[in-house]
């Protein structure tokens, strides 16, 4: 029409989430970022399955006699909880989601070295997860998550064999992921990105990849021989056929103790990113943290036998492995010291990711110190197979790995989705998790020291008060886990749009738009500085600039409000102003 100008609506920016909408573009994608999202959805489903199983047997333990389920069902519940959470959430969680999403972007690459293998690893994980859900939920596995013989060699066929096959598939998925990360970090770094300019998250993923490549094949050998023993009566671990069940334990822990660091090392890498970002200081002792990750990866292979202090090993072997177990605590202590030193005199911002990072440091420290208790043979003999071990394990795995996972999710959520979440709800969830976790698992230390054995469906009445506290804490902890699921899902549609770098963090991943384009970078970046180039002077200038911008915004809003009021009440502004009295000022 005459007098009107047609305005073309702004074109929608193309990024990895909306590049193609049909389901085939996701199921057959080779984009590392989309594969990370596929892992995120899959892992979230498995997390809630394992969490529901835990909530059910915690409710069962409210009373000494256990009134919710039968003892056999109780065995199946805690076995399902352990198998699902360890093999299908804790081990793959940070590498599969944040390693997949961030490793290429943090080193300036367009994708991982082997995109097809990356997609294959997700399909192996999903197939293993389906088999595990069928085995644990449809029929039920009652061996515990450690799958010790002779529990796993008693029957010819059944759900245990299915669970063993499921873990085998998940193990091959882990090997492929680790191989992809190691090759990518070696071969695809951007120009100028030397080893000592790498983010510490990349160092952690590199060390984790080495463990995945070297340790997981031992698990594969164990699972294959267990299937042969169970299905065909070969007699490798079955004592009735001349097998040795302790050999099974040695092979299991030769993998599983390094596997602890598959869960912990990526979590430590996350904290090494969060602490400097919100303390606004370069990380303290960069080289020490980087080399401590490699030291953990190496020494972690030599401490498996501290899980067998109560078996047939000699006292001299126990002494040696006790010493090595104390030694492996040193690199983790270095990290905790350096994180604390980074916080010292830093301009700490208590954002949601930072609250999760501080919670991780506290909970991981408690878990590490109690690990030293278990490394001492005398004390370990007293608390072996008690709730003390359960508490130590969960302070490391849940208080450590899951807390860091949530910290990473909140830190990189704006980059992954292009949306911001409500900070108030994020901080509430972080506080609920910290309180609920301690209320759930700290009573386990007391029960274990008093002699309460784990994996029992009933217990003596003097332990009831501790179980009631633990079950009450588990409900708070459950709320702390459920709340992020609600507000993060809400933020996908209603959350404010995020700019490229909402945290003002350093790193190559923050130099791309949010969400990133499919190809990550329009041009291959050239790196000239270290990973943590935070400057107090630059932060002061940035803060002053933000204050000026906020003042301008408030002034513009005030002017708009005045204009609206003028338009609504013109008569008030048309009346003549009264004359001033002598000496009167405005």
Per residue in 205-229, pLDDT (tens digit) is 999 999 999 999 999 999 999 988 8
Alpha-carbon distance 46 to 328, whole Å? 31
Say if CB 107 and CB 189 are below 8 A apart. yes
Neighbours of 134 (CB within 10 A): 14
Say what the pLDDT of residue 7 is.
47
pLDDT band at residue 575 under the 50/70/90 scheme: low
Look at 28-32, 292-296, 369-373, 573-577 and tell me which has the smallest mean pLDDT.
573-577
- Average predicted confidence (pLDDT) for the chain: 90
Looking at 88-92, 134-138, 431-435, 545-549, which range is the least confident one? 545-549
> Which of 20-29, 133-142, 174-183, 565-574 has the highest mean predicted lDDT (pLDDT)?
174-183
The answer to whether the CB of 471 falls within 8 A of the CB of 66 is no
Average pLDDT over residues 405-415: 97
Task: Name the region of 169 (left: φ>0; alpha: ψ -120 to 50; beta: rest).
Answer: alpha
Mean pLDDT of 98-104: 96
The stretch 149-154 carries a mean pLDDT of: 83
Q: Which whole number is the average pLDDT over 46-60? A: 95
Share of the chain above pLDDT 70, in %: 93
- 463-489 mean pLDDT: 95
Cα gap 412→410, rounded to integer Å: 6
> What's the whole-number mean pLDDT along residues 394-415?
95
Question: What pLDDT, on the 0 to 100 scale, is given for residue 2?
Answer: 44
Lowest mean pLDDT among 338-347, 402-411, 568-577: 568-577
Question: Residue holding tokens 């030293």?
Answer: 372
Is residue 362 predicted with pLDDT exceeding 60?
yes
- pLDDT for res 212: 96
- At 578 the pLDDT is 56
Instruction: Give the model's pLDDT for residue 480.
Output: 95
What's residue 274's pLDDT? 97
pLDDT band for position 554 (cuts 50, 70, 90) = confident
**Cβ contacts of 109 within 8 Å, gap of 6 or more:** 103, 184, 188, 189, 190, 520
Place of tokens 């013989």: 149
The string of DSSP codes covering 404-429 is HHHHHHHHHHHHHHSB---HHHHHHH
pLDDT-derived band of residue 522, with 50, 70 and 90 as boundaries?
A: confident
**Predicted local distance difference test score (pLDDT) of residue 1:** 41
Least confident interval from 21-25, 65-69, 266-270: 21-25
User: Under a CB-based contact definition with an 8 Å cutoff, are residues 510 and 500 in contact?
Assistant: yes
Q: Residue 386: phi, psi to the nearest 5? A: -115, 180
φ and ψ of 33, to 5 deg:
-70, -40
Task: Say yes or no to pLDDT of 106 above 80.
Answer: yes
């Amino acid at each position: 029409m005459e007098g009107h100008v047609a305005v073309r609506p702004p074109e929608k920016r193309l990024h990895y989430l909306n590049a193609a909408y049909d389901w085939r573009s996701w199921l057959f994608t080779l984009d590392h970022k989309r594969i990370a999202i596929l892992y995120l959805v899959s892992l979230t489903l498995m997390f809630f399955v394992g969490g529901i199983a835990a909530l059910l047997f915690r409710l069962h333990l409210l009373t000494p006699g256990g009134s919710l389920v039968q003892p056999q069902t109780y065995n199946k519940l805690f076995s399902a909880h352990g198998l699902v959470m360890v093999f299908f959430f804790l081990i793959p969680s940070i590498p599969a989601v944040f390693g997949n999403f961030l490793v290429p972007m943090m080193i300036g690459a367009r994708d991982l070295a082997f995109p097809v293998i990356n997609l294959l690893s997700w399909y192996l994980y999903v197939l293993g997860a389906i088999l595990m859900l069928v085995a644990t939920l449809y029929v039920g596995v009652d061996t515990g998550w450690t799958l010790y013989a002779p529990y796993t060699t008693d029957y010819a066929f059944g759900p245990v064999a299915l669970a063993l096959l499921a873990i085998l598939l998940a193990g091959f998925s882990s090997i492929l992921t680790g191989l992809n990360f190691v090759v990518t970090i070696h071969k695809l770094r951007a120009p100028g990105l030397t080893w000592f300019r790498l983010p510490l998250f990349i160092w952690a993923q590199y060390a984790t990849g080495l463990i995945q490549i070297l340790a997981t094949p031992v698990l594969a050998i164990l699972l294959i021989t267990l299937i042969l023993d169970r299905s065909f009566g070969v007699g490798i671990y079955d004592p009735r056929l001349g097998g040795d069940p302790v050999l099974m334990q040695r092979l299991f822990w030769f993998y599983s103790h390094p596997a602890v660091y598959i869960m912990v090392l990526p979590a430590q890498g996350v904290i090494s990113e969060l602490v400097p970002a919100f303390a606004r200081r370069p990380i303290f002792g960069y080289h020490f943290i980087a080399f401590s990750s490699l030291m953990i990866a190496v020494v972690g292979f030599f401490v498996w036998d501290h899980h067998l202090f109560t078996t047939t090993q000699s006292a001299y072997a126990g002494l040696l492995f006790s010493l090595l177990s104390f030694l492996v605590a040193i690199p983790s202590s270095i990290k905790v010291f350096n994180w604390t030193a980074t916080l010292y005199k830093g301009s700490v911002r208590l954002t949601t990711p930072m609250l999760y990072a501080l919670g991780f440091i506290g909970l991981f420290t408690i878990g590490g110190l109690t690990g030293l208790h278990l490394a001492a043979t005398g004390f370990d003999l007293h608390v072996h197979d008690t709730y003390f071990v359960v508490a130590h394990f969960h302070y490391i795995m849940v208080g450590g790995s899951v807390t860091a996972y949530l910290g990473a999710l909140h830190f990189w959520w704006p980059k992954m989705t292009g949306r911001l979440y409500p900070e108030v709800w994020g901080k509430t969830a972080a506080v609920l998790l910290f309180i609920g976790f301690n209320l759930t698992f700290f009573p386990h230390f007391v029960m274990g020291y008093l002699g309460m054995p784990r994996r029992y469906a009933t217990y003596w009445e003097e332990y009831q008060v501790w179980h009631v506290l633990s079950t009450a804490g588990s409900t708070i902890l459950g709320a702390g886990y459920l709340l992020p699921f609600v507000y993060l899902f809400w933020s996908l549609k209603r959350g404010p749009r995020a700019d490229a770098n909402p945290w003002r963090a350093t790193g190559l991943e923050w130099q791309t738009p949010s969400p990133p384009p499919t190809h990550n970078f329009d041009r291959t970046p050239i790196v000239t500085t270290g990973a943590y180039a935070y400057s107090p002077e630059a932060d002061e200038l940035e803060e002053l600039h933000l204050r000026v911008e906020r003042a301008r915004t408030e002034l513009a809003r005030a002017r708009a409000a005045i204009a609206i009021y003028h338009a609504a009440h013109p008569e008030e502004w048309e009346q003549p102003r009264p004359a001033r009295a002598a000496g009167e000022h405005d």
